[in-house]
Amino acid sequence: MRTVLLALLLLAGAVFPATILTRADQASIDVALPVLQRHIPDIKIIPADPTQWRALIDRGGVDFLWAGAPVLYESLLREGYLAPMPDVAELRQLPERVGNIPLKRVVNGSVYYVVYGLLGYVIGYSQDAAAKAGLQPACSWRDLASPELARYYLKTGSKPVAIARPTKSTSTAAMMQLVTEIYGWEEGWRYLASMAAVARFVDSSGAVRDAVKRGEAVFGPMVDYYVFIAGLQYCIPTDGTDILFDPIAVPRGANMTAATTLTRVFLTEIEKSVVDRYILPGNPALLDSPDVNQTKAAVLKQHLSRLINAKVLAVPPEKSASYYYSFIYYYEATLVDLQDQLTSLWGRVVDAYYSGKITQRQFEELWRRLGAPVNYTDPATGQVKTFTYQDAVAINSKVASDPTYRDKLYQAWREAARARYQQAEALLNQYIQQNAQQTATSATTTAPSAAADTGMYLALAAVVLLAVLATLFIFKKRN
């Protein structure tokens, strides 16, 4: 019966074309395409930015969604863009969880997206490049935000960190959100600001890998399989990481015959093939299958053990999705668009501190101001607001669905950030001038005091000398 059903599905696939929307990199697409064409010859795979997915689904003709951070799928689910997945045996056989990692997103008894691959967040680097640069491996998010990397930039003129723009990479967006989950909203944005100041921004997470591999950057936050493919070293961030569930899903309006075939293929043949790309399968039991490369499976087993023993935050996708759109556009407006101003300011702050022109307290205050959430005027209400976590959640849906509002808001954020950087620079100049004046005043006060001390010592010496001479005179006269 199962053979007959599969044959019918293959026949239907041969009759009906199918289109997959994906966030997978080109190398993964190249591996998957011939496998998928065996089942649906007329199949198209369309890579697209996450901000384009809703419009493409609305246009129609999309039958399957593949890869990307769960935050993207959770956002699509909340907005009604996903359909229940086909109830096939391969889906039912998938375990509900791996450790504390849920593999299925179930709402009212229906599965809306499912994990076919597991990806850990790591910081990739080349040992040789780091040694040549004289830098210790960055093994925490705080390390990537360290003033030491700003000092490296000031010395060399080369930005040591490669980061994908969060509007272009869902995995990078999730990693940047993770920093605010670890350190809290305000402290997290402080680190994101100093990290962005020394970053080489690129347009995809794959480009981060390539920049580090070519030596254009020393460090790069990336998903784990990139480091294995590129032959890089890596740290699992000691201050916290998370595991990206690389999902598959069915969009509303999909051809369900094609979607059923694709669900079955992804949960069997594709899931086994991901091991060749050093991707952990959603069902880790497949690592013991004789159908997978056992050398690569051994590497992944060792890595999975490291991940499980790391500090994994397991941030619920629902939480990340609740402020995803607000976060990525705010990041872009305040840190990417104004990076030249930010880099110049952060460099001056770090240089002033290490050259003794400002105190540690002043340095910390300037660093805090660098990333403090801006005050801005909401274009919809005219109300002056602060970009707090609560605000980001409150406006998230409108940012996602209303392009006119989003564009005005983006401009308001950017101009508010520009003004804040100008104010921080003015404060830096004030601190430097005040400290220089205090030093000069102290020197002026010290000089007369020293002269007075010298005069006193000379007078005392003269008195002592006269006393000695008088004693000698009296002694001589008596003799």
271-297: per-residue pLDDT in tens? 888 888 899 988 888 899 898 899 999
pLDDT of residue 223: 94
Helices (H), 85-223: 89-92, 127-133, 141-144, 147-156, 170-183, 185-197, 205-213
Q: What is the pLDDT of residues 46-77, one digit of tens each?
A: 999 998 999 999 999 999 999 988 889 999 99
At position 441, the amino acid (one-letter code) is: T
> Is residue 2 predicted with pLDDT exceeding 50?
no
- Give the model's confidence band at 461: pLDDT under 50 very low, under 70 low, under 90 confident, else very high: low
pLDDT beyond 60 at 375? yes
| Tokens (6 digits) for 352 | 């002033």
- Nearest CA-CA partner of 181 in 166, 194, 192: 192
Q: What is the mean pLDDT of the chain?
A: 89
Q: The pTM is what?
A: 0.83
Cβ atoms of residues 313 and 178 within 8 Å = yes
Question: At 122, is the pLDDT very low, low, confident or very high (cuts 50, 70, 90)?
Answer: very high
Identify the residue with better confidence: 314 or 395: 395
**What is the 3 state secondary structure string of 414-447?**
HHHHHHHHHHHHHHHHHHHHHHHHHHHHHHHHHH
Read off the pLDDT band of 180 (50, 70, 90). Answer: very high
Statement: residue 460 has pLDDT above 60: no
Choice between 103 and 334, residue whose per-residue pLDDT is larger: 334
- Rounded to whole angstroms, the Cα distance separating 158 from 198 reads 8
Higher pLDDT, 195 or 474: 195
Whether the CB-CB separation of 324 and 395 falls below 8 Å is answered with no
- CA 444 from centre of chain: 50
Whether 344 shows a pLDDT value over 60: the answer reads yes
Res. 360: pLDDT tops 50: yes
Residue bearing the bigger pLDDT, 308 or 326: 326
* Size of the chain, expressed as the number of residues it contains: 479
Three-state DSSP at 200 gives: strand
308: left (phi over 0), alpha (psi -120 to 50) or beta: alpha
Structural domains in the chain, CATH included, are 2-116+245-309 (3.40.190.10), 322-448 (no CATH)
Q: Residue 126: pLDDT above 60?
A: yes
pLDDT tens digit sequence for 238-270: 999 998 888 999 999 999 999 999 999 999 888
Confidence of residue 93 (pLDDT cuts 50, 70, 90): confident
Spatial contact of 168 and 208, defined as CB atoms under 8 Å apart: no
Q: How does DSSP classify residue 85?
A: P
What CA–CA distances, in Å, run from 220 to 162, 250, 378? 5, 32, 34
Residue 413 has pLDDT above 80, yes or no: yes
Residue 474 has pLDDT above 70, yes or no: no
Judged against a pLDDT cut of 50, whether residue 468 lies above it is answered with no
Q: Which band of pLDDT confidence, cut at 50, 70 and 90, is reported for residue 462?
A: low
